[in-house]
A and B are shown apart, each in its own frame.
Chain A
Amino acid sequence: MPSYVSKPTPPNQDKRWKLVDATMRRQGLQARGLIETLHTVQEAFGYLDTPALRYVAMSLRVPLSRAYGVATFYHFFTLKPAGEHTCVICMGTACYIKGAPQLLHAVEHDLGIAAGETTTDQKVSLLTARCLGSCGLAPAVVYDQEVAGKVSVAALQQHLKQWTRP
């Protein structure tokens, strides 16, 4: 019996795998630690690729199908790397009735991508959020982790121009 019994080796020499290993050990290398481990992988690498899923699945002894199933079931996990910048538009109820759809339309039109996609030059990823809980600031947008409130279409377009300038 080859690799199934021995401890699987990480996909590469990257030191960040040590963080992933630590999380898995803390969960007793058990299947129940799958989601926690995927959180660590995504935090360390930014996204979950196939070698990472394979490594985690083998280490926790769960079928790859289950690891893949969990990774695709939850919206928070992404299988693709994000662009240089991310723009998250909140689509919560308060933001929706205060004009979030217009914001989304404007960005989709300007960048030529749909929500969940990244521009071909890998500059900007466009995402939507269920609710940021910043309802007092509706409509809210997150530019690279920074929340901006009461955003207008013009302000949003202005911000994106800074990012996409060659």
Chain B
Amino acid sequence: MTPEELEQIAETERAAQSQFQQRVHVCVAAGCMSCHSQSVKDALDQEVGRRGTKESCRVKGVGCMGLCSEGPLVSTSTGVLYKQVAAGDAAEILDSLEGPAVARLVCRTDVPFFQRQQKIVLENSGVIDPDRIEDYIAAEGYTALIKALTEMAPREVVEQVTKSGLRGRGGAGYPTGLKWSTVAKSVGTQKYVICNADEGDPGAFMDRSVLESDPHRVLEGMLIAAYAVGASEGYIYVRAEYPLAIKRLRNAIRQAERAGLLGANICGTRFSLRLDVRLGAGAFVCGEETALIASVEGKRGTPRPRPPYPAMEGLFGQPTLINNVETYANIAPIIRKGGEWYAQIGTEKSKGTKVFALAGSVQNTGLVEVPMGISLREMVFEIGGGIPEGRKFKAVQTGGPSGGCLPESCLDMPVDYESLARAGSIMGSGGMIVMDQTSCMVDVAKYFMDFCMTESCGKCIPCRVGTYQMHRILTAISTMSATKQDMSMLEELCDLLKHTSLCGLGQSAPNPVVSTLRSFGEEYRAHIDDHKCPAGVCGQQENGEQG
């Protein structure tokens, strides 16, 4: 594939697309699929066939449009977005292409949920057909790869990524450019690139959406990364729980190989990359990079001490670059438009945009991409549309089981890596769960501790035994049978786990407890001193078991 050939494909595809005067896009990502969007698409296809307008009207399955709670979503070339569409609405929607919109299905797009977003990672989501490489190429796909291969030295690629200020989107926020240059400098007979798509945080579905909506973007990011660091083999480690993402990813790999954009001597250069999908098997700890590497090697996913870091000794003992899905998805636009362009977006230390999965007790749940530095209040009350049913905001949880619960006093804080860390939470992979007055913070802390206890791999004692003990105390508190000594033991254990666990799972397992103790200490005291759960959650189910 030469640059000219790529341009040719893009031209042909654009010409083919412009022949259709009317277009109807149906979301076929997992969120809408589980509300039967496939049957909506089939009905539209059938109706177009029945009317004999196949030449002028195109029905296309596209990726996630964001507002998952209102699915199935359908958008049309007349600029209207329809929500909660059923198969029976097909005829009316097609009629609306030449007339007034179907009022009862219209979803307003002039609201903050859509207006406040800035899309880089998700720019193609909801626009292109994830199953067709031509559609991606027509949307400037793979031009960044060609640019990197033909116009830039590997060193220059790393420079641009460093300039962009991009930081790892998996949670820890390590500077991506720095990681790349370390791997590039490492010496090894064979280098690897790995994409971490083991999205284990409950309440997070950003990576799944990116893979389902725009898989080629992730491949392109990995290709550019492999070129920059000198790798020739790579793996994408995906959760087995995401069958649709796996299917689309495998399809994308096949298409890219056939087009000569993946495999040996890509675009006639000496650069080669072989990519393969590896399925995770439901172990949260495999999101930790050394555990993930062990799992790719076919072993139990247990972490090992670092250093040596994977950048020096990773997969099969060779230098390995591991980045998250969203990190790779940012690469193509950075190379296309330059690192400086990217660095203009966001805050001083956190550049660019971040995709969040907004869920829990908010009006609008779904996927949003916003510039870094937006306030939590804007996230919850403007984009999220506030708390439903007139209930009162209580906390927002970020970072999953490794993160924390932020109270109302933190709402005006900007969302960036440092601010969240200072407030006792973490950016994490981007799950954001809103809780209202009906949630008990002790119960939430217990829920996350139960998660960490079950997911602890058992290799190091602080995590294996510590999470169990903390869970035991939290259970005692929630059944109103804890004492003051239990509380001080709980605090001591928080400290112990944080400082002595082997990997991130154990080190951050106390975070939900620490953050709720800090902001909602009175709830703990109410359970212990007054034997009462202010939210009325605890003691309900346990009562039956106590007897």
* A36 close to chain B: CB less than 8 A: yes
- Closest residue of chain B to A40, judged by CB? B279
* B71 close to chain A: CB less than 8 A: yes
Quick one: which of B298, B300, B447, B451 contacts A33, CB cutoff 8 A?
B298
- Closest residue of chain B to A75, judged by CB? B282
Quick one: which of B199, B203, B281, B451 contacts A77, CB cutoff 8 A?
B281
- Closest residue of chain A to B301, judged by CB? A73
Measured CB to CB, the closest approach of chain B to A91, in angstroms, equals 7
Measured CB to CB, the closest approach of chain A to B546, in angstroms, equals 15
- Closest residue of chain B to A35, judged by CB? B298
* A113 close to chain B: CB less than 8 A: no
Residues of chain A in range 37-74 having any CB-CB distance to chain B below 8 Å: 38-39, 66, 69-70, 73-74
- Closest residue of chain B to A140, judged by CB? B34
Q: How far is the CA of A74 from the CA of B454 in the complex (A)?
A: 11
B433 contacts A97, CB within 8 Å?
A: yes
* A94 close to chain B: CB less than 8 A: yes
Cβ contacts under 8 Å, A10 to chain B: none
Q: How far is the CA of A87 from the CA of B91 in the complex (A)?
A: 35
Cβ contacts under 8 Å, B361 to chain A: 97-98
Q: How far is the CA of A138 from the CA of B451 in the complex (A)?
A: 18
Measured CB to CB, the closest approach of chain B to A104, in angstroms, equals 10
* B264 close to chain A: CB less than 8 A: no
* A119 close to chain B: CB less than 8 A: no
* B10 close to chain A: CB less than 8 A: no
* B193 close to chain A: CB less than 8 A: no
Cβ contacts under 8 Å, A81 to chain B: none
Q: How far is the CA of A35 from the CA of B301 in the complex (A)?
A: 11
Chain B's interface: helix, strand, loop or mixed, by majority? Answer: loop
- Closest residue of chain A to B544, judged by CB? A105
A93 contacts B68, CB within 8 Å?
A: no
Q: A93-B397, A97-B439 are in contact. Are A138 and B300 (CB under 8 A)?
A: no
Q: How far is the CA of A130 from the CA of B31 in the complex (A)?
A: 17
Q: Number of B residues contacting the other chain (C-beta, 8 Å)? A: 50
* B208 close to chain A: CB less than 8 A: yes
Quick one: which of A36, A38, A131, A140 contacts B201, CB cutoff 8 A?
A131
- Closest residue of chain A to B451, judged by CB? A130
B34 contacts A69, CB within 8 Å?
A: no
Cβ contacts under 8 Å, B528 to chain A: none
- Return the CB mask of B192-220 against A: 1 if under 8 Å, else 0: 00000001111111001000000000000
Measured CB to CB, the closest approach of chain A to B446, in angstroms, equals 10
A134 contacts B202, CB within 8 Å?
A: no
A138 contacts B541, CB within 8 Å?
A: no
Cβ contacts under 8 Å, A77 to chain B: 281
Q: How far is the CA of A30 from the CA of B297 in the complex (A)?
A: 10
Q: A70-B300, A97-B433, A130-B202 are in contact. Are A136 and B283 (CB under 8 A)?
A: no
Quick one: which of A31, A105, A138, A148 contacts B359, CB cutoff 8 A?
A138
* B104 close to chain A: CB less than 8 A: no
Q: How far is the CA of A135 from the CA of B31 in the complex (A)?
A: 9
Cβ contacts under 8 Å, A33 to chain B: 298
A135 contacts B357, CB within 8 Å?
A: yes
Q: How far is the CA of A33 from the CA of B431 in the complex (A)?
A: 32
Q: How far is the CA of A74 from the CA of B301 in the complex (A)?
A: 8
Cβ contacts under 8 Å, A136 to chain B: 31, 68-69, 71, 359, 365-366
Q: A93-B360, A134-B34 are in contact. Are A35 and B202 (CB under 8 A)?
A: no
Cβ contacts under 8 Å, A135 to chain B: 68, 203, 205, 357, 359-360, 365, 433
* A11 close to chain B: CB less than 8 A: no
A131 contacts B204, CB within 8 Å?
A: yes
* B15 close to chain A: CB less than 8 A: no
Measured CB to CB, the closest approach of chain B to A23, in angstroms, equals 11
Q: How far is the CA of A144 from the CA of B457 in the complex (A)?
A: 29
B202 contacts A75, CB within 8 Å?
A: no
- Closest residue of chain A to B361, judged by CB? A97
Can you report 8 A-B residue pairs in the complex whose CB atoms are below 8 A from each other? A75-B281, A91-B202, A94-B365, A97-B435, A129-B241, A130-B282, A136-B69, A149-B34
Q: Name 12 extra pairs, CB < 8 A, besides A39-B281, A74-B282, A146-B34.
A: A35-B278, A70-B298, A91-B202, A96-B202, A101-B541, A130-B451, A133-B241, A133-B242, A134-B30, A134-B34, A135-B433, A136-B366
Q: Which 4 residue pairs are nearest across A and B when measured between Cβ atoms?
A: A136-B68, A74-B281, A133-B205, A135-B359
B residues neighboring A (CB under 8 Å) = 30-31, 34-35, 68-69, 71, 199-205, 208, 240-242, 278-284, 295-301, 357, 359-361, 365-366, 397, 400, 431, 433, 435, 438-439, 444, 447, 451, 457, 541
